[in-house]
A and B are shown apart, each in its own frame.
Chain A
Amino acid sequence: MVTSAAAPAPSSRPALSLPPSQFARLQPHAYLLAHLSPPSTNNQPSIRANGRAPTQFRVTSANAGSLTHTNGSAVVRIGDTAAVCGVRAELLHTEDIASWSVSQATSSNKSPRSVDQTEELGEQDDNETIERERAHIEDLNLLVPNLSLSTGCAPGFIPGSAPSSLAQSLSHQILSLLHSTRLVRADDLRIWYQPPSMGPEELERHNEEEQMDVDTAQNDPVEESPREIKAFWVLYIDIMIISLAGNAFDAAWAAVLAALRDTKLPKAWWDVDNETVVCSDSISDARKLSLRGLPVASSFAVFEADAAAGWRAVVIPEAAEMKAQRLARKGGVSERWLLADPDGYEEGLTQERACVVVDKDTDGKVIILEMEKNGGWTIDTEDLQQLVDLSSQRWEDMKRILDEC
């Protein structure tokens, strides 16, 4: 069908042939199906309507530091989907947190020194550190992502309207992924203050016996009063999808990742005399965030050959039966295709989606951080295994792209 439509129409007979673009609009499902299952007579490979192989991702480019007024920013383009992300850091004084003194008293008060040591050990976080991280980043809402689709990015989204439910659920997905991957370290966001040790003056208030005890304690190397947190950095992560051609989540997440890698926080300290937090002007004092790992998201869609399945009252076969059918048909025409990184046209034709977020540790072992599959019943365990493998290949590409930007 397509090959005949794609052939230039003979000038003598303009009658019934349609240009491919028109065919694509009139019969979108048949158009994509004809591309994916070419007739066996000509040896064409199965290819998508946009010229990609089923498991091929779109050309991706990233550019960091595009916005000058933010602490970190990035533009990520995946095909025709483009996302701009800006990270802005603002100060949150602990005295402005209503429950701060209470929550600090109740939370397990480890001495800050030992906390530092565990932080320095890096990946070997014990449970208590994780709990403190969660308490600070999640309970105090130190990360505030917001995604906006109301930019005229696609015809369906009217500029200037209220956030659509897609935009809202993408915002939530990004926030929940930031929390569950623990990408940002809470220690990067804390501003500490070390009160000077007052020395022996304090002791004069105590009576004799107590002073004795304290004297013995003073032999310990730790004699300074404990450090305290005076303020936090809050990161406002704003994502604008400036052009939407499918797969908004991958682009948005890649933009967040690139922007956070680019983010520099100015050196900040507590000024006792003014009782406020002061930031340094010089860029050389600013330091980058040290992120945990590099989680990369890859989305997939499943295109089903039988467009009319919904029309007829078909009895859906048992899962085991379906698998047997598929195995029997192997080598022949498959009835469904896993499409990596679906574009807008393909998203309109598919219902079943999968999204895998993977990271690799230093040994190159693949760690899955999120795996979602919804909207159908054709993806089974083997397919998910294949998707994880594809995602880990994608991780290599994305790492290269993000390292270069």
Chain B
Amino acid sequence: MVGPTASLSNLSRADGSASFKCPTTGYKILGSVNAPVELPGRRDALKPEEATVEVFIKPGNTTAGVGERYVEGIIRTMLQKLILGRERGFPRRGVVITLAIVGGGAIARGDSYLTLLPSLLHTSLLALLSGAVPMSMTYSTALVAVSKSNVIISNPTLVEAKAASSLHVLAFSSKGHLLLNESQGRFDFDTWKTVQQCAHALCRGVDLPEVDGDIAMEAQGDSGTAEGFVRETVENHLYRDYAWKIDTE
């Protein structure tokens, strides 16, 4: 299966930026992060001891509507908790994340946003890493669908997602916490548990029985998982950036 593609720091004027393309849903997202910035005219809304996280989503072919407000809210709530907004220079300032949907199908009014959510979350994570915004953990997300015949489809296409009886987006932190769960459709709790295991495997690989936490993780190799993908993208970028230094050694 073709994995997603991503590149870091595509935009020169933003503090951090990333583009991300999901092969199964076809969405292509361009994200930028500016942090820390002064938010003009928002004195009352700014928190005195923390950074304010703002997320803006721009659909490819229309203006942002209520659906985008809803997804912005989801991403903001999740990132607010992960970004260390009390670090030096961040309080009273803003972390502004702008995500533009530059490719892929349009999402109509009232449609489920869940197919797009993993791409948006991955783009914002890569952009935050590119902008060197301090975070307590990284995360990885997965989209899982359950079809009418109760078959679990990981990374469904848009057609499969539309025909599915339930759709789930889960995000796991780099330490294994369940950060986000958005499930829609008809399902029961046992189905959700299977979905959760499937999503966990997609994001972080299969858990080995705990012997030596970090050694087990290393040995297993995280290529193919969503977390491994983020790690590889950032590593590749660093190798390119430091090529001058590595070559001289």
Chain A residues proximal to chain B, CB less than 8 Å: 127, 138-139, 141, 143, 165-166, 168-169, 171-173, 175-176, 178-180, 310-311, 313, 316-320, 322, 351-353, 365-381, 384-385, 388
How far in angstroms is the closest Cβ of chain B from A365? 7
- For B193, what are the chain A residues with a Cβ–Cβ distance below 8 Å? 381
From known contacts A176-B184, A366-B188, infer whether A319 and B177 are also in contact, taking CB-CB under 8 Å: yes
From known contacts A176-B184, A353-B77, A377-B173, infer whether A171 and B66 are also in contact, taking CB-CB under 8 Å: yes
CB of A369 within 8 A of CB of B185, answer yes
In B72-115, which residues have CB < 8 Å from any A CB? Answer: 72-74, 77-78, 80-81, 84-86, 108-113
Contact of A165 among B69, B192, B196 (CB under 8 A): B69
Minimal Cβ-Cβ distance residue in B for A379: B178
CB of A316 within 8 A of CB of B136, answer yes
Contact of B192 among A176, A319, A352, A368 (CB under 8 A): A368
- For A311, what are the chain B residues with a Cβ–Cβ distance below 8 Å? 49, 86
From known contacts A179-B110, A180-B184, A379-B178, infer whether A165 and B72 are also in contact, taking CB-CB under 8 Å: yes
How far in angstroms is the closest Cβ of chain B from A150? 15
Minimal Cβ-Cβ distance residue in B for A352: B81
CB of B183 within 8 A of CB of A370, answer yes
0/1 interface trace, chain B 128-159, chain A, CB 8 Å (1 if under): 00000000110000000000100000000000
Contact of A377 among B50, B85, B111, B178 (CB under 8 A): B178
Minimal Cβ-Cβ distance residue in A for B197: A381
Q: How far is the CA of A178 from the CA of B73 in the complex (A)?
A: 20
Where chain B touches its partner, the secondary structure class is mixed
From known contacts A179-B110, A180-B112, infer whether A320 and B188 are also in contact, taking CB-CB under 8 Å: no
CB of B189 within 8 A of CB of A385, answer yes
Chain B residues proximal to chain A, CB less than 8 Å: 49-50, 66-67, 69-70, 72-74, 77-78, 80-81, 84-86, 108-113, 136-137, 148, 163, 173, 175-189, 192-193, 196, 210, 213
- For B148, what are the chain A residues with a Cβ–Cβ distance below 8 Å? 127
CB of B81 within 8 A of CB of A371, answer no
CB of B70 within 8 A of CB of A169, answer yes
How far in angstroms is the closest Cβ of chain A from B76? 9
Closest 8 CB pairs of A and B: A319-B176, A377-B177, A169-B70, A168-B69, A172-B70, A172-B66, A375-B77, A373-B181
- For A352, what are the chain B residues with a Cβ–Cβ distance below 8 Å? 81
How far in angstroms is the closest Cβ of chain A from B41? 15
Most chain B Cβ neighbours within 10 Å, of A143, A176, A319, A372 = A176
**11 interchain pairs, CB-CB under 8 A:** A169-B70, A175-B109, A176-B111, A310-B86, A313-B84, A318-B175, A318-B213, A368-B188, A375-B80, A377-B177, A377-B178
- For B213, what are the chain A residues with a Cβ–Cβ distance below 8 Å? 318
